[in-house]
A and B are shown apart, each in its own frame.
Chain A
Amino acid sequence: EVQLAESGGGLVQPGGSLRLSCAASGFTFSNYWMTWVRQAPGKGLEWLANIKQDGSETYYVDSVKGRFTISRDSAKNSLFLQMNRLRVEDTAVYYCARIDLLTGLDFWGLGTLVTVSS
């Protein structure tokens, strides 16, 4: 059974940093692109970043480019999102998801809440 479990969310002040993790199980992690998507309170879904199977390619939405870094550790079956220079508008639930070339974002984690506030 495919499982994704995010962790690392919490309360942080504007300008601060946070590192999110996503533990993957039930599939061969190193075979899949992975992604982060977020959802601000009461709002819709926003794609943030993708990372290739070997980590050699990464892509970001403009709003987080230069502030967020997606990475992975296939030895630990883990995906990460390093978030720096956080802003109030980064407050959201952050989801990791698996990307299948045919079915797209086919499995999602439960999400972790990040609150940026002074």
Chain B
Amino acid sequence: DIVMTQTPLSLSVTPGQPASISCKSSQSLQQSDGATSLYWFLQKPGQSPQLLIYEVSSRFSGLPDRFSGSGSGTDFTLKISRVEAEDVGLYYCMQGKQLPYTFGQGTKLEIK
């Protein structure tokens, strides 16, 4: 199974400041067609997960452009350029290259 490792596991950010979450996979997530199956989700308190980013860097419908994803191979990053109060919750990366799909442990974002 592909192991997904996120860092940090928690971060506290002042509104308006940037935040960054790292996700590393135990194997390359690049598919044979060149696509890379790395996704980011946010689970707000008391809610179900919601898709933020697909294929490393594509923002899902309606996602503000202050969210961005980057990376390749085994190293990936989710960045929030200016954190807002509504961004609190648990952020998960997930690999979809091979079954079983596997998720990172989650990173808890809090507002200072």
Which among B13-21, B68-76, B95-103 touches the partner chain? B95-103
Size category of the B interface is: 20 to 34
- Chain B facing A: main interface SS: loop
Which chain B residues numbered 36 to 91 have a C-beta less than 8 Å away from chain A?
37, 39, 41, 43, 47-51, 54-55, 58, 60
Which chain A residues numbered 78 to 115 have a C-beta less than 8 Å away from chain B?
95, 102-111
Q: In the complex, how many residues of chain A place their beta carbon closer than 8 angstroms to a beta carbon of chain B?
A: 21
CB pair B49 A95 closer than 8 Å: yes
A103-B103 CB under 8 A given contacts A45-B92, A108-B48 = no
- Judged by a CB distance under 8 angstroms, whether A47 is at the interface is yes
Of the residues A44, A59, A61, contact of B105 by C-beta under 8 Å: A44
| Mask of B1-45 contacts with A, CB within 8 angstroms, 1/0 | 000000000000000000000000000000000000101010100
- The distance from the CB of A92 to the nearest CB of chain B, in whole angstroms, is 13
Residue of A nearest to B37 (CB): A104
- On A, residues with C-beta under 8 Å from B are 35, 37, 44-47, 50, 59, 61-62, 95, 102-111
CB pair B55 A47 closer than 8 Å: no
CB pair A61 B49 closer than 8 Å: no
A47-B103 CB under 8 A given contacts A103-B54, A104-B54, A106-B54 = yes
CB pair A61 B60 closer than 8 Å: no
Q: Give the distance in Å from the alpha carbon of A54 to the alpha carbon of B28 in the complex.
A: 30
Residue of A nearest to B49 (CB): A108
Point out the residues of chain A lying under 8 angstroms from B94, CB to CB: 45, 104-105
Point out the residues of chain B lying under 8 angstroms from A61, CB to CB: 100
CB pair B50 A108 closer than 8 Å: yes
- Ranked 10 nearest A-B pairs via Cβ: A47-B101, A45-B103, A103-B54, A108-B48, A61-B100, A104-B39, A44-B106, A106-B51, A104-B54, A59-B99
